[in-house]
Amino acid sequence: MVMLSRLGLDSSSELFRELPSSLRMSRPLALPAALSELELLKTLKALADGNLNLDEHPCFLGAGVYDHYVPSVVDHVLGRSEFYTSYTPYQPEMSQGMLQAIFEYQTLICELTGMEVANASLYDGGSSLAEAALMGCRASGREEVLIARTVNPFYREVVATYLRTAGFAIREIPLDESGAVDLDLLAAAAGSGTAALILQSPNFFGILEDLEAAGNILRRRAPAASFVVSADPISLALLRPPGELGVDIVVGEGQVLGNHPSFGGPLLGIMACTEKLLRRMPGRIVGETTDAEGRRGYVLTIQTREQHIRREKATSNICTNQALNALAAAVYLTVLGKDGLREVAFNCCWKGHYARERFRSLRGFAIPYQGPCFREFVVNCPIPPAELNSALIRDGIIGGYPLARHYPEREELRSAWLLCVTERRTRAEIDRLAEAAAAAAALSPVFPSPEGGTVLENDL
């Protein structure tokens, strides 16, 4: 009212006098009536309670989002409202906190991946992979991207969507019987028209890809192409960093680093690359500099790549990214530290293998892929995995991911289940899963008789 009267106006509708009357709404929006905070909490709590959550139910789902423990410290730091109510640090003198945190995040990502430079984050692992593919196309001037079918099928869909729109081609390379990309077929497909090769390791089935061998093939057959690898940051505590293996661009899903699953978002798109590709990299980048008194400080830098300066000539359209999730990753890596992250990775590895062996010995279940794995593995089930999942839910367990929809061409994946075991799962939970799965299978009419002769329904 004070403002209206100081403006000499009677009503706020006068403020909208430039809007043609034909465009003014003549009715209120058809939305539910306002709720008080107390009512709001009750309503939203009821919606939240309509879901089975991972705190109360052991979960064996992975496939791109993982149930790792998020240390208490992470959420407390993220709850500092100086961080979460700020925006992109356009005014560095007032934003040193976020800038330094991102600079440290970039350093941590370089340490994990062995790459020279990292950006401040992209949306998620899938869109980061698509951006990397586009970088490969632009850097090489070639138009066909090779992608292994062992890459997460959701990521492949995102890459295909981006490339199709931008007018580039994509070719998928099948897998071999070990569950890794078929290197012979890769060698046959790579050539002078190849813009990039995309592998994921550990791949969608949890199997480690032979990045060194694939990289050698690519260098020999398609020297102009970029080698793009989607890597899991926790596995990198144990595995050879892609930077040692001639990889040009590393991307990955950073959700595992201190971010809750949150029904699949917000996630954290990691991207790191060689110094040579720096000016083709999308996204914000923080750099160190000095202030007028010579003190160390941080600013957004190499901005001549970006949309607000280059417009249609920019390397990407990224503006808002996933800064707070990158902060979570930095805090996570800091509190876990050098030893802690290794221990988490070891735990995933040991527990994953323990679970895999447990299923190998269960009657009616089989392990189709024998390659070395990390955290995830494929199980062939005697009954459709979706049925197993339903039975497990009755036992309070969230089971695995049925694979058939994504691999109609693979006989061995018709009734396959992707299981994931993080450090949060206990031996007792894994045993419970195995026992409940075995019991559910035994009760099912389609269970194979000990003499063989199964009657398998196609899953999904």
Ligand X SMILES: Cc1ncc(COP(=O)(O)O)c(C=O)c1O
- Contact residues: ligand X, CB under 6 A: 319-320
Minimum CB distance to ligand X, residue 387 (Å)? 42
- The verdict on 126 binding another protein (CB under 8 A) reads yes
Shortest reach from residue 450's CB to another protein, in Å: 29
State the burial class of residue 303 (Cβ atoms within 10 Å of its Cβ: 0-12, 13-18, 19+): middle
Spell out a b/e string for 245-266, using b for 16 or more CB atoms within 10 Å of the CB, else e. Answer: bebbbbbbbbbbbbbebeeeee
* H helices present in 144-232, as ranges: 153-166, 183-189, 211-221
Q: Please, where are the H alpha helices in 366-413? A: 385-394
The distance between the two most distant Cα atoms of the chain, rounded to a whole number of Å, is 91
3-state secondary structure of 268: coil
Kindly state the smallest distance separating residue 227's Cβ from ligand X, in Å: 29
Residue 193 binds to another protein (criterion: CB under 8 A): no
With beta carbons less than 8 A apart as the criterion, state whether 68 and 74 touch: no
With CB under 5 to 8 Å by kind, the binding choice for 458 among another protein, ligand X, none is: none
What is the closest distance, in whole angstroms, from the C-beta atom of residue 451 to another protein in the complex?
33
269 or 364: CB nearest ligand X: 269
Residues 219, 427, 443, 455: which binds another protein (CB under 8 A)? 427
Q: How far apart are CA 129 and CA 229, in angstroms?
A: 8
103 binds, among another protein, ligand X, none (CB under 5 to 8 A by kind): another protein
How long is the chain? 460
Q: List the single partner that 63 binds among ligand X, another protein, none, CB under 5 to 8 Å by kind.
A: another protein
Q: What angle do CA 381, 387, 392 make, to 5 degrees?
A: 95
With contacts defined by CB under 8 A, name the span among 102-110, 179-187, 218-226, 447-455 that binds another protein.
102-110
> Which residues inside 207-246 make contact with another protein, applying CB under 8 A?
208, 212, 236-241, 244
Q: Does 444 bind another protein (CB under 8 A)?
A: no
CB 171 to another protein: min, Å: 17
- The distance of closest approach from Cβ of residue 194 to another protein in the complex, given in angstroms and rounded to an integer, is 20
Query: What is the token pair recorded at 14?
Result: 């006068």
Q: Would you say 41 or 319 has its CB closer to ligand X?
A: 319
Binding-site member from 183, 187, 224, 278 for another protein (CB under 8 A): 278
Residue 454 interface partner, choices another protein, ligand X, none, CB cut-off 5-8 Å depending on type: none
d(CA 205, CA 232): 13
3-state secondary structure of 181: strand
